[in-house]
Chains A and B, each alone.
Chain A
Amino acid sequence: MYSEWPLLSVLIWTPIIGGILVLLAGDRDPSGARKIALLFSIVTFLLTLPLYTQFNTDTHLMQFVERHSWIDAFNIEYFVGVDGISMPLILLTSFMTVIVVISAWDIIEYRVSQYMAAFLIMEGFMIGTFSSLDAILFYIFFESMLIPMFLVIDIWGGANRIYATFKFFLYTFIGSVLLLVALIYLYTQSGSFAIFDFHHLRLTLTEQILIFLAFLVAFAVKVPMWPVHTWLPDAHVEAPTGGSVILAAIMLKMGGYGFLRFSLPITPDASAELDWLIITMSLTAVVYIGFVALVQQDMKKLIAYSSIAHMGFVTLGFFVVFRIMDGDNDAQGSVLALEGGMVQMISHGFISGAMFLCVGVVYDRMHSRQIADYGGVVNTMPVFAAFMVFFAMANAGLPGTSGFVGEFMVILASFKASFWIAFLAATTLILGAAYTLWMIKRVIFGEIANDNVRALTDINRREFLFLSILAIAVLALGLWPDPLVKVMHPTIENLLNHIATSKL
C-alpha cells in the first residue's frame, strides 16, 4: 500500500510544514509550540518506519521512487528515491530529530518556536538531501539545511558564536562552490542532472581527477576530514546542545554519504588513483586527532575531536576497498569495509548525539563545559553517571555497543589491504579509550570537587527518557547489527561491482 504513496515527499515536507506551523503559532504559547514540534517529529519518525519495513532487500535498485520534471530547460527533475545507503540515514535523521525536540523541551526558553521550527525544517532538508536523485535537487537541499543550522548557532549559541558560524560558513561554502562547478560540468557532459546518469558517464582520468578533487573538498569539509576539520570543534563549542547533536549525528554524515553517492561511482578511476590520499587523511584523523582529543580541556571540544577520529573510520572504510581489490588476495573484505563505514556512520550518530546530550545535561546545571570545573559528579548524579559511563564506553568502541561494530569491520577489512593500515586504525582502541575514559575519570569519578558539583541534581524524567532511548539504540545495534547490515547488502555489492569497472 505504501508504494502508492509519495512517501518520500511526505517525509520531506511533513517536518517543513510542521516547522512553518510552529513558526506561525509563535512564542505567545511556547508549550503549544513544543507540542506541535513534538507531534510533527514523532509523526515523521513513524512515517519513516515503512521505509524499513517495506524495503525490498533483494534489489539494489532505488525504491520509493518519485520522478517529475521540474525545470525542463536544464532537464532538472524532482527525482527522489532511496536505496540501502540512504534509507538507514533517513531513519537516523528522523529518530534524532525526535530526541532533539525532547531534549530542548524546557531547556530552551528563548524564542522557543523558532528553535523548534529550525530543527523541523532542517529535518526536512536533510531527508531531502539523502533522498535526492537529481544533482540540483540534492545541491539545493544540501545547502538549504545549513541555513537553519547557522541560525541555531547564531541565535542560541555561545559567546564566540559569530566567529564559529563564520568559520563554519567559509569552510562549507568553498566546498559547496566546487561541488556545484563539478555538477554543472557533469551536466554539460551528460545532458541531465540525474545522478545515475553521472554514474554511467564515461570520463577521462584527468576529468575524473578534477571532479574527484572538487567533490573531495566539498565532502571532506563536511565529514570533516583532517586537515579541514578545525571548524567543527569551534562550531560545536558555540552551538546549543540540539545544534551539536544534529551537527554530529546527521550533518557530518552528508560528507560520508556524498563519497558513496558521488565520488566512488562517478569517478571510480580517480578514486582508485587517489585512494592513498584519502587513506592517509583518514588514518591521520584516527591517530593525530586521537592525540589532540587527549589534551582537550573543554568537554565539547573533546567530543568534537573524537567525532573527527571516529569519522576517519568511515572514509577509511570507503577508500580502503580500492587497496583490497588491488591486492593479490581475493577481494573478500571490500563489502566488509564499505558496510563497516556505513555502520560507523549510523552508530556515530547515536553515540556522538548521546555524548553531546550528556554534556548538555550537566551544562544546563553548571553552565560550564570545562573538565576542570567538574569532578565527582557520580556522587550527586548517580543515574546520569551510569548513562555517561555507558556512552563513553560506546565511544571507546566497547563490544556490545554500536561503537564497536563499524570499527571492528573496518579494521578487519583493512588488514586485507595492508597490515599497517589495520595497525594504525586499531590504535583507536587505545587512543579512543584514553581520551574518553580520562575525561570520565576527571568529570564523573572522584570526590565531589566543589560546591557547584555538590549542588547538582540528578537527571529528571525527561532527560532519563531521551538518554535511555539512545542507550537502547546503542545496545541494540551493538548486540545485533544484522538488521541494519542486511538492508545494505544489495546496494553495497552493486556499488562495488560498479566501481570495480573502469570508466576509461
Chain B
Amino acid sequence: MNMESVYLAIPLASLFGAIVAGFFGKQIGRVGSHLVAISGVGISTLLSLIVLKDVVIDGAAIYNQSVYTWMISDGIRFEIGFLIDSLTALMMVVVSSVSLMVHIYTIGYMEDDDGYQRFFSYIALFTFSMLMLVMSNNFLQLFFGWEAVGLISYLLIGFWFKRETAIYANLKAFLVNRVGDFGFLLGIAVILGYTGSLDYYEVFDRADAMVTATIQVIPGLDWSVISLACILLFVGAMGKSAQVPLHVWLPDSMEGPTPISALIHAATMVTAGIFMVARMSPLFELSETALSVVLVIGATTAFFMGLIGIVQNDIKRVIAYSTLSQLGYMTVALGASAYSAAIFHLMTHAFFKALLFLAAGSVIIAMHHEQDIRKMGGLKKYMPITYWVFLIGSLSLIGFPGFAGFFSKDAIIEATHNADIPGAGYAYIMVLVGVFITAFYSFRLFFLVFHGEERMDAHTREHLHETRPVVTVPLILLAIPSVIIGWITIESVLFGGYFTSGARDAITILESHGAMAAVAETFHGPARFVAHGFSGLPLYLATAGVFSAWYIYLKNPSIAETAKQKFSFLYRLLDQKYYFDRFNEIFFAGGSRGIGQVLWRLGDALLIDGLLVNGSAKLVGWFSGIVRQVQTGYLNHYAFTMILGLILLLGWAVLG
C-alpha cells in the first residue's frame, strides 16, 4: 500500500465527514450526518492503526515529507507536511480512537439536541485539526493545528450559545489560549530568527546555534537564546495544556456538552502542549533553565489544582480539576526529561479520563442534566454498568497497581525522584502528596455519586435507569484500555526504545539527564513493576486518600461540615480557586477596558480631536478673523500694502 496516500487520507477522511455534516446536515438529516462523520473518523482510526502497525511491527522508516508549499518568502520555505515516526503514530491512534468512541457516544448524548448535525461537524473537524497538529513536520502547521483546535474548542464550549455562562466561558477560553499562543508565536519567531527554518529536523540540526547565542531582552542582561525560545514555546503549552496561571479557562470549559469535555478538554486537545514539548525534546534538552521552569510549573499545577477538586460539587468540574492536576503530572515528567513517561501518561490518561467524563455524562443523562453531586448518591443500583466503569476509571486515575494509570503515574513519580535539576525536590514532594489528593477527590466523587443515601428528588429517582447501549458500549470499550493498556505497553513504550527505534530518535534525552535511565535500571517487567507498586509509598498514600474519602463522606459526613467551618479560610481559598478568576476579571479584563476608555476619551477624543483637529480648525478660524480685518475693501489700503510688500522684497533681494 502506498503509505503517502494513507497519511493524507487519515486527516482528510475526518475533514470530509466534517464538511458533509456541516454544509449538508439539513439535506442528509441526523442519521446521515452521524453516519458520515463516524465513517470519516472510523477510517482515520483504522488507517492510524495501520500506520502504528507499520511503524511498530514492520519498523517502517520515518516519513518526513512536504504535502504542499504554503509559501516561500525570503528563502524560507513555509510548508505543510507530515512527519510520521513512533511518537506521531502513537498520538494518531490515541486521538482518532478516543474521538471515534466519543462520536458514537454522542449519538446517545445529543439525541434531543437541535444542533445535532452541527455538533458532529465540529467534532469531526476537531479530529482533522488535531491529527494535522500531531502529524506536522514543521512549526507553521503546528501553529495552524494549535489554533484550529482552539477555534473548535471555542465553538464547542459555546455550543449552547443561548447560555450566558457558555458564551462567557468560550470567550475566556479563547483569550487565555491566545495569551499562550502569543508566547508560542514569539518562540517560533526566535527559532526562525536563529535557525532560519521552520522544519523540525532542520531546526533540531541547527539548534546548536541557539545554545551559544545570547540575547539581551532586557538591556544589560544576557539571556541564553535556547532558554528564551523554549520558555516561550512552553508558554504556548501552558495555555493549551492549562498550566498555572493559564489554567483558568479549563474548568469553565465544562459549559460545553460532555462528549467534548471528554474528547477535547481531557483526552486530546489539552495534551497538545505535552505532545509539543515532547516533540521539541531536542530543544528543551539543551536548556536546563527551561526544564526547571517546566518542572516547577507542572508540579504546582499538579498539586494545587488537585486541591481545588476536593471542594467542587459539580461532577464535571471535579473531573476537570483532576484533568488539570494530571496535566501537571505530565508536565512534571517533561521537566524531568522523562518525555516518554509524559507521553505514556498522556495515553493512559486519554483513555481513563475520557472514560470518566463519558461515564459522568451517562450519570448526567440519567439525572436529567443535574450535575450537582450533592443531589446524587446511591446510583450504584440503578446504573451498574456506569458504576463499574466509573470505578475502573477512578482506580486507574489514582494509580492503583495494575491499572493503566498506575504504570504511567508511577513512572513519573520515580523519574521525578531521580531527576536532579533545580526544582526536582519540590516537584517530587508535590507529585507524591498529589497522589493522596487525587485519591481523595476521586473517591469523594465516587462515593457521593454512587454510594450513600439517595439525595435526588422523587421524580428523578423514579426515572433513574442505566443508559442505552450507544452510551454504555463506548464506555466499556474505553474501560478495557483503562485497565490493560499500561500493562501491555509499558515495557515497549518506556523501556523498549520505542521512541528511539527509528533512524532518528523521536525523543532525545541527554546523557546528563538520567531520570528515565535510572527508572529503566530498576525495571524488570510489568509484573515486578506492579509487585513493587504494592510496597511503594504512592500506594499507601492512595489508599489513605480513598479511606479518608470513605470515612469523611460516607461513614461520618459531619466531619466534612466541621472541617469546612474550622478551616473556613482554607475552604474559601479553594472555593474561590485561589482568587485567580477574580484577579483576572478585575486586573486584566477590567484593566484593559479602563485603559481603552482612557485612551479613547482622553487620547483620541480630547487630545487628538479636541486639541489638534478641532483646535487647528479654531486656530484657522481665529487667524482668518484677523486676516479678514485686512480685507477692508478700500483700494488705498491695498495699494499701500502692495508698496510695503515691494519694499520688503527689494530690501531682501538687495541685502539678503
Contacts and interface: CB of A to CB of B under 8 A. Distances in A.
A434 B171 CA distance: 8
B147 A291 contact: no
Contacts of A434: 175, 178, 592
Nearest to A423: B186
A446 interface: yes
B308 to A, nearest CB: 26
Interface in B133-163: 143-144, 146-148, 151, 154-155, 158, 161-162
Interface in B155-200: 155, 158, 161-162, 164, 167-168, 171, 174-175, 178-179, 181-182, 185-186, 188-190, 192-193, 196
A111 interface: no
A468 to B, nearest CB: 11
B74 A332 contact: yes
Interface residues of B, number: 54
Given A292-B604, A481-B70, A376 B162 contact: yes
Contacts of B627: none
A59 interface: no
A217 to B, nearest CB: 13
Give the contact-size bracket for chain A.
Answer: 35 or more
A52 to B, nearest CB: 17
Contact of B192 (A295, A404, A415, A430): A415
A416 interface: yes
Interface stretch (B47-55, B291-299, B356-364, B595-603): B595-603
A288 interface: yes
B593 interface: yes
Given A335-B74, A399-B147, A446-B162, A230 B604 contact: yes
Contact of A400 (B148, B188, B599): B148
B608 A227 contact: yes
Contact of A399 (B144, B171, B600, B612): B144
B623 interface: no
A5 B35 CA distance: 56
Interface string A324-356: 000001001111100110000000000000000
A426 B144 contact: no
A437 B189 contact: no
A429 interface: yes
A188 to B, nearest CB: 20
A339 B171 CA distance: 32
A441 interface: yes
B599 A292 contact: yes
A422 B592 CA distance: 20
A151 interface: no
A419 B148 contact: no
Interface string A242-281: 0000000000000000000000000000000000000000
A335 B179 CA distance: 28
B196 A332 contact: yes
Nearest to A327: B193
Contact of B175 (A329, A408, A422, A433): A433
Contacts of B158: 445
A494 interface: no
B151 A393 contact: yes
Contact of A333 (B74, B162, B178): B74
Given A429-B185, A447-B162, A398 B147 contact: yes
Interface of B: 68-76, 143-144, 146-148, 151, 154-155, 158, 161-162, 164, 167-168, 171, 174-175, 178-179, 181-182, 185-186, 188-190, 192-193, 196, 215, 217, 592-593, 595-597, 599-600, 603-604, 608-609, 612-613, 617
6 contacts: A170-B617, A389-B155, A422-B186, A429-B185, A433-B178, A434-B178
Q: Which 5 A-B pairs have the closest CB atoms?
A: A295-B596, A415-B189, A335-B74, A291-B596, A294-B596
Given A288-B599, A291-B600, A447-B164, 19 more contacts: A170-B613, A292-B599, A292-B603, A293-B596, A294-B596, A333-B74, A376-B162, A379-B162, A389-B155, A399-B148, A405-B71, A415-B186, A419-B217, A426-B185, A429-B185, A433-B175, A445-B162, A485-B73, A489-B73
